[in-house]
Chain A
Amino acid sequence: MWQYIFRRVLYAIPVLIGVNIITFALFFMLNSPDNIAHMQLGSKHVTKAEIDNWKKTHGYDLPLFFNSEQHSFTQTIFWQKSIRLFVFDFGVSDGGRDIGEAISDRYLPSLSIAVPALIVGLFVNIVTAMVMAFFRGGYIDHWGVILCVISMSISTLFYIIAGQYFVARVLKWVPVSGYVDGFYSLKFIALPVLVSVVAGIGAGTRWYRALFLEEISKDYVRTARSKGLSEPQVLFGHVLPNALVPILTGVVVIIPLLFMGSLLLESFFAIPGLGSFTIDAIQNQDFSIVRAMVFLGTILYIVGLILTDISYVIVDPRVRFN
């Protein structure tokens, strides 16, 4: 297993380099170093000399990919801004703040929403899908699928605004938005978690229902029934454990990405997580933060894929690392 993990980590290096190059190229296709300087200095009274001075101070006065004057790849913005990422030195933002500190401050609020939303959502989706699978072909299943499709068609933004309006403004059960640490955080995360779960029910339930129905049609289920087991025994004792294999592997891949937070939820509920950090950076054209967050996201995605492969081997004895 360790050999396999080592190999996958080695594969990750060119992926990370590639992602870095693409991020860099896309960012600078849309934003010149002058634009970045303008964002920091503002738009009033700023002269060309000030722009040049800012670029010099922040290392944006170098060529982008190749320094033809010095015949060097290292004396470039790309090299100077990217190479330290590979030792997890995220450096400072273009506004002058330490990015590593910001990430360590923000990942917990992101997780405080993402983890409960994942667990509760998983439970609700599995239960609903099981009920629909149990009554397959009946009116509960029929109307369940219709409701799922309707629910999937509605934008997450609608759930957020409707949730804030009814739960927080009309019923006044929880605060509209905000975040505090400690015990009181419960009342701040309740609504975003609820919204996240409700918004995900349609897609999640439909997918899990499809997995359960696929399992139900298999021979071992027929065998279980022929042994005289009741339908609940068949569903919970046989179908559920087998259907959990794709569910769990699907979940494992997204676990590391939970750190990255949710862009929309965090923005509307004023959760100081990494999702809103990324959105702010994009809006402020802060390249240093954008490249750090893309780099982190890539690593977490790769970790997720490796964990998925490992979980396959653990839950399905037919799969081997080699």
Chain B
Amino acid sequence: MRIAIIITLSLLLLGCDQTWNNPYPQDPPDSNTLYSAFSLRPKHLDPAKSYSEEEYIFIAQIYEPPLQYNYLKRPYELEPLTASKMPEVVYDPIADTTTYTISIKPGIYYQPHPALALHDYGTSLYHNLAADQIDSFRVLDDFKKHGSRELVAADYVYQIKRLADPKINSPIYGVMKDYILGFADFRAEIQKLYDRNPQLIGADLRHFDILGVKTIDKYTYTITIRGTYPQFKYWLAMLFFAPVPWEADKFYYQQGLADHNISLDWYPIGTGPFLLSENNPDRRMVLSRNINFRDEYFPGKPELKLPLLDRVVFSLERESIPAWDKFLQGYFDASGISEDNFNYAMASGGGLQLSQPLRERGVKLRVYERLSMVYWAFNMLDPVVGGYSEKSSKLRHAINLAFDVDEFITIFYNGRGIPAGGPIPIGLLGGKAATEKTYNPELAKKLLAEAGYPGGRDLNTGEQLQIFYEAAVSGNPSQQAELTWLRKQMEKIGIDLIIRATDYNRFREKIQTGNAQIFMWGWNADYPDPENFLFLLYGPNSQALYSGENTANYNNTEYNALYEKFIAIDDDAEKLQLINAMFKVLNKDMPWIWGFFPQQYSLYNPWYGFVARGSVINNFVKYISIDPKQRAKLRKEWNSPTIWPVFLLLIAVIVIIFPAIYGFVRSEKASARRKR
């Protein structure tokens, strides 16, 4: 009886919130909190290491580089973030260097953090902890005192030094060493220090200087790069160039803290609108408003002070099905549309119309073009599909014409893509979609014959042309269908496409070593400039020869010369001319089958405010608003539990148990009769 009472009370208590299925039982229902999901644990939260979308969603709200993209303007436009104005750029023709002078706004303060906590007499509180003290700190919240200080130019300089620190291992060191003066020498110097002191956790980088990076005054610093590189300004909007105070390293490098995962890679320290108040990537990550955040307003709306939210809760949701269910229940404010849910979400018959159930709920659909590209590359080093002869070019053109990219997008991407007309996505200078359908198997057969393979057979040997298609497979059934589709496309013109499916590691190794013929590849832009796509075909970036990003290993001297000219200029009209000239060269050689530009379909529940997403705008969370009252009301409406099945279940149990009880009683009686 007592147990029954306890169970009943527990159930009543659990049901005390408005809905039984509420996954946030401890949160007030009308809090100004955004609820979102993440599917992959972030690996790094250190701005010098982090280089993926899954990590940027968190740290881009915390760290602030000097520049950002305007939230509303398209094409994307850079504007100052912590900088007081756009950088001054001066080219020195004698030294062949370009200097960027960046001034930051005064009065910007870091979030409260123990690394910045001070004693009453001014020295750092937690920088010289004893071993037994360190043992008592298990998480950052165990440090009771927090401090802050003003952001200064030296913090930006310090972070650039961190990019070259061999122990930090920043992924962009390889790119930056070719540009920033003295970057490689700086690393060599730090490496020597580590070699002399193998036990050193991290170097105090304040005592070393990079030739090309200087602090001019409290609010000004300069970066000097070799030659001209107009795209460098975009790097200044990336988190690699966000400030890190030296106190953070001094604090985190104390022996023993890393054993409790207390490191900069786990607990960020920034000046942005949010701070990471809960860091549990196994459950949830919570961003809360940074009380030290300066006055910043929504573009064009001085009445809207940023950030518009108080809190953002990201819950770990590995699988798409439960994430979708939670979106429909109103427990996630926004959602993508996975392949499994596409038919439920969108109205049949194509077009951009939501299904009836979603429209009735007031769900909003936004479609935006990602700055990315999916393409099929020919390995230009391959003796069959590669090379620059007329014959090999015709073979590649024939294969290109046999690929029905439209059909591919419709079948395998639910139509969420735009066929590409070149390597630059639409929305960027020179970016263009395919103006007409390129699919033409008859013309493909003709070109194949001219390439020496009439009917897909080698003119000399009579053997059928076999081409190997490299694929990284994950066991997903739709991937098998995709490969079968590709084979059938080639069969139409008589080519035997042999699929070489391997795991991703083997696949990547084959591409890196140039042991492939055709394969599918993709690229997400780092910044909104055509250069970030055109460089994928620049000869000295060949992946097999120079570990670059040119996976097709394309190397055409004419294209290379045009590209070199292109990257040195900053005039759009001139650039467009060069892009068109490069397209001509590419269309003749056809190193890629122009694939498509993927589109992102995002759904927003009715209480979600204005959205202007863009694929390079990572710090967008500060502009998001929601209507918490409407959300609380709709959640309650949508989630009242259905009780009647309980009674149905009870009846079902009785129906099942009754024959058993009846049989038992009957057998007992039968036994008694026999006994008599």
Chain A residues with a Cβ under 8 A of chain B: 30-32, 35, 38, 40-50, 53-54, 57, 92, 95-98, 101-102, 105-106, 131, 134-135, 138, 140, 161, 164-165, 168-180, 183-184, 186-188, 228, 230-232, 267-270, 272, 276-277, 280, 284-285
- B265: chain A residues at CB < 8 Å are 96
Q: Does B22 contact A (CB under 8 A)?
A: yes
Measured between C-beta atoms, what is the minimum distance from B650 to chain A in Å? 14
Q: Are A47 and B547 in contact (CB under 8 A)?
A: yes
Given contacts A46-B171, A47-B547, A98-B261, contact A172 B19 (CB under 8 A): yes
- Shortest 8 CB-CB distances between A and B: which pairs? A272-B282, A47-B174, A175-B23, A177-B322, A178-B23, A35-B505, A184-B25, A176-B325
- A173: chain B residues at CB < 8 Å are 20-21, 641
Q: Does B411 contact A (CB under 8 A)?
A: no
Measured between C-beta atoms, what is the minimum distance from B662 to chain A in Å? 10
Q: Does B316 contact A (CB under 8 A)?
A: yes
Given contacts A98-B259, A184-B14, contact A45 B25 (CB under 8 A): no
Q: Are A176 and B23 in contact (CB under 8 A)?
A: yes
Q: Are A43 and B508 in contact (CB under 8 A)?
A: yes
Measured between C-beta atoms, what is the minimum distance from A88 to chain B in Å? 14
Q: Scoring B residues 260 to 282 as 1 if CB is less than 8 Å from chain A, else 0, what string do you get?
A: 11010110000000000000101
**What's the interface size class on B, roughly?**
35 or more
Measured between C-beta atoms, what is the minimum distance from B478 to chain A in Å? 17
Q: Are A95 and B43 in contact (CB under 8 A)?
A: yes
Q: Are A45 and B319 in contact (CB under 8 A)?
A: no
Q: Does B573 contact A (CB under 8 A)?
A: no
Given contacts A49-B174, A184-B14, contact A171 B322 (CB under 8 A): no
Q: Are A44 and B315 in contact (CB under 8 A)?
A: no
Determine, out of B57-65, B359-367, B399-407, B663-671, the stretch whose residues face the partner at the interface: B663-671
Most chain-B Cβ atoms within 10 A of its Cβ — which of A35, A106, A170, A285?
Answer: A35
User: Could you tell me the distance between the alpha carbons of A54 and B49 in the complex, rounded to whole angstroms?
Assistant: 12
Q: Does B10 contact A (CB under 8 A)?
A: yes
Given contacts A140-B659, A270-B315, A270-B316, contact A284 B43 (CB under 8 A): yes
8 Å CB contact of B663 from A35, A138, A270? A138
User: Nearest B residue to A131 by beta-carbon distance?
Assistant: B660
Measured between C-beta atoms, what is the minimum distance from A160 to chain B in Å? 9
User: Nearest A residue to B657 by beta-carbon distance?
Assistant: A131
Most chain-B Cβ atoms within 10 A of its Cβ — which of A38, A49, A173, A175?
Answer: A175
User: Nearest B residue to A39 by beta-carbon distance?
Assistant: B43
- A57: chain B residues at CB < 8 Å are 166-167, 169
- Complex A-B: 8 CB contacts under 8 Å: A54-B169, A95-B43, A101-B261, A176-B322, A177-B317, A177-B326, A186-B10, A231-B668
Measured between C-beta atoms, what is the minimum distance from A312 to chain B in Å? 33
Q: Does B321 contact A (CB under 8 A)?
A: yes
Measured between C-beta atoms, what is the minimum distance from B235 to chain A in Å? 11
Q: Are B668 and A45 in contact (CB under 8 A)?
A: no
Measured between C-beta atoms, what is the minimum distance from A224 to chain B in Å? 14
Measured between C-beta atoms, what is the minimum distance from B303 to chain A in Å? 36
User: Nearest A residue to B283 by beta-carbon distance?
Assistant: A272
Say whether chain B's binding surface is mostly helix, strand, loop, or mixed.
loop
- B640: chain A residues at CB < 8 Å are 172
Q: Does B318 contact A (CB under 8 A)?
A: yes
User: Nearest A residue to B524 by beta-carbon distance?
Assistant: A44
Q: Does B623 contact A (CB under 8 A)?
A: no
Q: Does B26 contact A (CB under 8 A)?
A: yes
- B668: chain A residues at CB < 8 Å are 230-231
User: Could you tell me the distance between the alpha carbons of A269 and B315 in the complex, rounded to whole angstroms?
Assistant: 12
Q: Does B482 contact A (CB under 8 A)?
A: no
Within 8 A of A (CB), among B619-648: 639-642, 645
Q: Are B26 and A44 in contact (CB under 8 A)?
A: no
Most chain-A Cβ atoms within 10 A of its Cβ — which of B44, B169, B645?
Answer: B169
Given contacts A45-B174, A171-B642, contact A268 B319 (CB under 8 A): yes
User: Could you tell me the distance between the alpha carbons of A134 and B666 in the complex, rounded to whole angstroms?
Assistant: 13
User: Could you tell me the distance between the alpha carbons of A102 and B316 in the complex, rounded to whole angstroms?
Assistant: 16
Q: Are B639 and A172 in contact (CB under 8 A)?
A: yes
Q: Are A45 and B171 in contact (CB under 8 A)?
A: yes
Q: Does B526 contact A (CB under 8 A)?
A: yes
User: Could you tell me the distance between the alpha carbons of A291 and B660 in the complex, rounded to whole angstroms?
Assistant: 51
Given contacts A35-B509, A101-B260, A270-B316, 15 further A-B contacts (CB under 8 A): A30-B503, A140-B659, A140-B663, A172-B20, A172-B21, A175-B331, A176-B322, A177-B322, A178-B23, A180-B26, A184-B14, A228-B675, A231-B671, A270-B283, A272-B316
Q: Scoring B residues 86 to 127 as 1 if CB is less than 8 Å from chain A, else 0, what string do you get?
A: 000000000000000000000000000000000000000000
User: Nearest B residue to A268 by beta-carbon distance?
Assistant: B319
Q: Does B328 contact A (CB under 8 A)?
A: yes
Q: Does B172 contact A (CB under 8 A)?
A: yes
Q: Does B549 contact A (CB under 8 A)?
A: yes
8 Å CB contact of B51 from A42, A171, A267? A42
Q: Are A172 and B641 in contact (CB under 8 A)?
A: yes
- B263: chain A residues at CB < 8 Å are 96
- A96: chain B residues at CB < 8 Å are 258, 263, 265
User: Nearest A residue to B641 by beta-carbon distance?
Assistant: A172
Q: Does B510 contact A (CB under 8 A)?
A: no
8 Å CB contact of B21 from A30, A175, A184, A272? A175
User: Nearest B residue to A182 by beta-carbon distance?
Assistant: B26
User: Nearest A residue to B667 by beta-carbon distance?
Assistant: A231
8 Å CB contact of A272 from B26, B167, B280? B280
User: Nearest A residue to B526 by beta-carbon distance?
Assistant: A44
Q: Are A97 and B266 in contact (CB under 8 A)?
A: yes
Q: Does B375 contact A (CB under 8 A)?
A: no
User: Nearest A residue to B169 by beta-carbon distance?
Assistant: A54
Given contacts A140-B660, A270-B317, contact A187 B671 (CB under 8 A): no
Within 8 A of A (CB), among B290-305: none
Q: Does B175 contact A (CB under 8 A)?
A: yes
User: Nearest B residue to A51 by beta-carbon distance?
Assistant: B547
Q: Are A267 and B660 in contact (CB under 8 A)?
A: no
- A102: chain B residues at CB < 8 Å are 282
Q: Are A40 and B43 in contact (CB under 8 A)?
A: yes
User: Could you tell me the distance between the alpha carbons of A164 and B21 in the complex, rounded to whole angstroms?
Assistant: 11
Q: Does B41 contact A (CB under 8 A)?
A: yes
Q: Are A30 and B505 in contact (CB under 8 A)?
A: yes
- A95: chain B residues at CB < 8 Å are 43-44
Q: Are A48 and B547 in contact (CB under 8 A)?
A: yes
User: Nearest B residue to A177 by beta-carbon distance?
Assistant: B322
Q: Are B505 and A32 in contact (CB under 8 A)?
A: yes
Q: Are B13 and A183 in contact (CB under 8 A)?
A: yes
User: Nearest A residue to B187 by beta-carbon distance?
Assistant: A53
- B52: chain A residues at CB < 8 Å are 42
Q: Does B329 contact A (CB under 8 A)?
A: yes
Q: Does B183 contact A (CB under 8 A)?
A: no
Given contacts A176-B21, A177-B322, contact A53 B316 (CB under 8 A): no
- B663: chain A residues at CB < 8 Å are 135, 138, 140
Measured between C-beta atoms, what is the minimum distance from A93 to chain B in Å? 9
Q: Are B328 and A180 in contact (CB under 8 A)?
A: no
Q: Are A53 and B642 in contact (CB under 8 A)?
A: no
Measured between C-beta atoms, what is the minimum distance from A58 to chain B in Å? 9
User: Nearest A residue to B41 by beta-carbon distance?
Assistant: A280
Given contacts A53-B166, A175-B22, contact A45 B172 (CB under 8 A): yes
Q: Are A187 and B325 in contact (CB under 8 A)?
A: no
User: Nearest B residue to A186 by beta-carbon distance?
Assistant: B14
User: Nearest A residue to B10 by beta-carbon distance?
Assistant: A186
8 Å CB contact of B14 from A38, A106, A187? A187
- A169: chain B residues at CB < 8 Å are 325, 328-329
Q: Are B171 and A179 in contact (CB under 8 A)?
A: no
Q: Are B175 and A172 in contact (CB under 8 A)?
A: no
Measured between C-beta atoms, what is the minimum distance from A131 to chain B in Å? 6
Q: Are A270 and B318 in contact (CB under 8 A)?
A: yes
- A184: chain B residues at CB < 8 Å are 14, 25-26
- B259: chain A residues at CB < 8 Å are 98, 101
- A164: chain B residues at CB < 8 Å are 321-322, 325
Q: Are B260 and A98 in contact (CB under 8 A)?
A: yes
Measured between C-beta atoms, what is the minimum distance from A145 to chain B in Å? 15
